[in-house]
Amino acid sequence: MASQTILQKLEILADAAKYDASCASSGTAKKNSLGSAKGIGSTEGMGICHAYAPDGRCISLLKILLTNHCVFDCHYCVNRKSSNVARARFTPQEVVDLTLAFYRRNYIEGLFLSSGIVKNSNHTMEQIVEVARILREEHDFRGYIHLKTIPEADAEIVHQAGLYADRVSINVELPTDAGLTRLAPDKDARQIEGAMGNVRSDLAEAKDAKKRFRHAPRFAPAGQSTQMIVGADAATDADIVGKASRLYDNFRLRRVYYSAFSPIPDASAVLPLKRPPLIREHRLYQSDWLMRFYGYKPTEVMQATEADGNLPLDIDPKLAWALKFRDSFPVDVNRATKEQLLRVPGLGVKAVHKILASRRHRTLRLDDVARLTLSITKVRPFICTVDWRPVMLTDRADLRSLLAPRTEQLELFAA
Amino acid sequence: MTAFQHVEAGTYYVTEMPEPDDFEFWRERARALVQCEVPPDRIAWIEPGGSGDLFAHGERRSPMPEEGARPVRANRRFVSLAKNAILHSDPDRFALLYRLLWRLQSSPRIMEDKADPDVRRIEELDKNVRRDSHKMHAFVRFRLIEEESEDGEPREHYVAWFEPEHHILRANAGFFMRRFANMHWSILTPQGSLHWDTETMREGPPAERSDAPGGDPMEDLWRSYYASIFNPARLKIGAMLKEMPRKYWKNMPEAALIPELVAGAQKRESTMVEAGTLEFEERPETLAAIDRAIHACRKCPIGELDNEAVMGEGPRDAALMIVGEQPGDQEDQAGKPFVGPAGQLLNQHLERAGIDRGAAYVTNTVKHFKYVQRGKRRLHQSPGAKEIDTCRWWIESERAIVQPKLVLAMGASAARGMLGKTVSISKARGAPIPLEDGSELWITAHPSYLLRLDGAAREEQARLFDADLAAVRERLEELQA
């Protein structure tokens, strides 16, 4: 094979990384390069999306694979051994140069590096760590680094990754063990969770050390995250929500990313023929938010699912829950607790805070609430104010159809 | 009194701002005006370069508060919002801030009343400014120029052209300084410019787009990254436009690609789907239907060869399913599985183990004969992983109908066909592997492997094969008991 140019490799290895949903660059420790001799970069806690692709996803990090050669044969993965895609491999130095060149031009917040497995897991993980090492040690790079770690690699090498990276992630891949066995035959659920457990204890240890020694080494200050593929196996939304909440509990994950299974070139025959509707992924993210910011328990999110165990696609999970538990409504905005207000469909966390702050000064009328929310139509059936009681509405059988957005034919060429 | 009458009376004040973002100046003036009890409707605030002609006769000097005048009250929330809101391009912002400051003197908790129109407006201004700042952090694109330093050495200088909506340039100098501390960089905007030389920050005059460099060799790489990371199967233009409005596009090199990426997405997705997915119909419900379907199957290149599909054979309700690799030359001609040399060897071993072949369902992982033509002979070729995975559809369909209690997979291809992964025969043989449907999988060598061996090696493998078959017979009896 003629040697590939950097441009050709970048095309192949960025293309191979495009199925990964995670991209965040937030939640890490603050650092900057002022006062250092040659350092470059900063992180200020909040991540920055430097561009958006036409798929609506943000581009915050240079997200590439070190190589898309792989000895594994996971069916959903475009890089699996038996797939017929073009292959390429970067050297660690090439990734470093590319990251720095992009960073200096303010195209990116840092690097998100993943890799196919070449030779063996340890070798691959060492290469990934080497990229981070050169960036941090030789170039004093202070931007964001997210490393995808390989569960089969030795804990010691994964630990090294955490010392250089802001965030590490280990993909659980599929929501059920049966799905994993069928679609990722070379992977082992227990090994994956074992690796997550190791990272969790490394994180706890580093946090503890930081309390006692000011110069204790930082270990992945942005924590660990994971990703699972949705729609490639028969797992229901209830299964997925259950799995996600167990992962949050057991491993203190910062985020669980859901990636709708996407058609891939040269797909394996055991995959489903159709991609799941993208809205399903969106509903799962919404349910994730309900658990993380609105105080819903996983079992409550599961109560919002329909008979087949899946969340409704036409309405959001919060509305779905409210429609099933109508006796919890209407909520009196002038008297309800914060927890009760957070359950009102159409009221976000910010709107709830505004309501709580405002009602210390005035008794809220419907118009006042309208000024504090994005859309009063959605909220109205579920609240009462001094001048509004929706008693009839919550009893109406057709409430759902009144609130569900009208389904529209999607535009093919909207621009 | 009307404003005009106040002007006449010398009690109407005009304040010209020296800079559009000078919070300290505004604060000094506003403090004095509040202390002199000048109500908001008797003050005009004028932007630098703005038209003050209307108020030509207003008092331009700030009034002097009396000794011991009441201190001005402003809470922290107001100050932090005001510092940011003053950067907004709305010409009424100074007046709004003063009005709020004025009202704060009598109602100190007014900032908490989120439904108040003035409070809502200042929060809106603050939000717009924060958004514009955030977009500046994100969308500034530096271009590299090589220049000479004072001592004649070549030096890298990164220059960006940016058009902010509000007066945010100076306020965001710190972000770029902290991030690019060891780079020489300049940000040029229509409102002013910033220059950092790794030690000091210098402010410069407004610039024009032509002052900034026009391109950078890295932009080709960046554009190719942008195009490659985009997944055409997930086109969501609205979501992109919400976060990256068109007004920013003209200064972002990658944005030029958007129209063609969007236009090509449908086609790329369908190509991907066509190349990727295999359109299997519903699972056939009878063995005869499978037989018909495999004859028509062209999902992989083997189906295109000059051969006939070979269907499995045996009772529809067999407890044992025996799976080989693929039909060979003789099987292809006879249309029956395991009739060639390997089949005969299999029959001998089955008989020795006490397994009735007639009671078993015997089939192959791959349904067509894969070969290369050498003269008149067709030489057997092993199927590839992809071909086995493709053919899994059919063997799974057969299994769904026959529902055997025990499946005996012979050889690596059969094992892969059942498990979806490649396993080592020597490690996997001799013990049951539970399958999803509750049945058991046993793995052993393929009889044609024995045919390729001689002498002691052949005897050894034949012994292992017999042992596997004996174990299978015993287990089968247990299962059927």
- Kindly tell me if the per-residue pLDDT of A415 is higher than 60: no
CA distance linking residue B306 with residue B273, whole number of Å: 28
Return the minimum-mean-pLDDT range out of A258-262, A302-306, A335-339, B410-414: A258-262
Q: Which of B226, B228, B237 is closest, CB to CB, to A414?
A: B237
Q: Which of B234, B244, B266 is closest, CB to CB, to A278?
A: B234
Contact at CB, A185 and B225, closer than 8 angstroms:
no
Interface test with A, best of B198, B268, B277, B367 (most A CBs within 10 A): B277
More confident residue, B481 or A353: A353
Interface test with B, best of A12, A18, A97, A107 (most B CBs within 10 A): A107
Check if the beta carbon of residue A88 is closer than 8 Å to that of residue A9.
yes
| Cβ under 8 Å to A: B residues 432-451 | 436
Check if the beta carbon of residue A146 is closer than 8 Å to that of residue A168.
yes
Contact at CB, B218 and A51, closer than 8 angstroms:
no
CA distance linking residue A36 with residue B393, whole number of Å: 61
How many CA atoms lie less than 13 Å away from A122 in the CB half-sphere?
A: 4
Q: Which of B114, B236, B419 is closest, CB to CB, to A56?
A: B236
Report, as an integer, the average pLDDT of A112-121: 93
CA distance linking residue A178 with residue A308, whole number of Å: 19
Share of chain B above pLDDT 90, in %: 64
Question: Is B428 near chain A, with CB under 8 Å?
Answer: no
- The pLDDT of residue B8 is 59
What confidence tier does B54 reach under pLDDT thresholds 50, 70, 90? low
The string of DSSP codes covering B166-189 is SS-TGGGHHHHHHHSTTSEEEEEE
Which residues make Cβ contacts (< 8 Å) with residue B304, sequence separation at least 6?
B298
Strands, DSSP E only, in B47-153?
143-148
Q: What ipTM score was computed for the predicted complex, to two decimals?
A: 0.87
CA distance linking residue B455 with residue B385, whole number of Å: 31
What confidence tier does B456 reach under pLDDT thresholds 50, 70, 90? very high
Chain B residues with CB under 8 Å of A260 CB are 234
Mean pLDDT rounded to a whole number for chain B: 89
pLDDT tens-digit readout, A262-313: 766 666 656 665 666 778 888 999 999 999 899 999 999 999 998 889 999 8
How many CA atoms lie less than 13 Å away from A392 in the CB half-sphere?
A: 1
Q: Which of B218, B258, B277 is closest, CB to CB, to A267?
A: B277
Global pTM? 0.77
| Residue A396 to chain B, least CA–CA distance (Å) | 31
Contact at CB, B243 and A58, closer than 8 angstroms:
yes
- The pLDDT of residue A409 is 46
What distances in angstroms separate CA B186 from CA A142, B173, B180, B195, B428, one per listed residue? 21, 10, 11, 4, 65
Report, as an integer, the average pLDDT of A380-400: 75
Interface test with A, best of B157, B196, B231 (most A CBs within 10 A): B231
Return the minimum-mean-pLDDT range out of A115-129, A359-373, B366-380, B441-455: A359-373
Check if the beta carbon of residue B315 is closer than 8 Å to that of residue B359.
yes
Chain A residues with CB under 8 Å of B221 CB are 6-7, 10, 98, 101-102
- Nearest chain A residue to B237 by CA distance is A54
- Kindly tell me if the per-residue pLDDT of A1 is higher than 60: no
- The pLDDT of residue B113 is 83
Tokens of B165: 């909506």
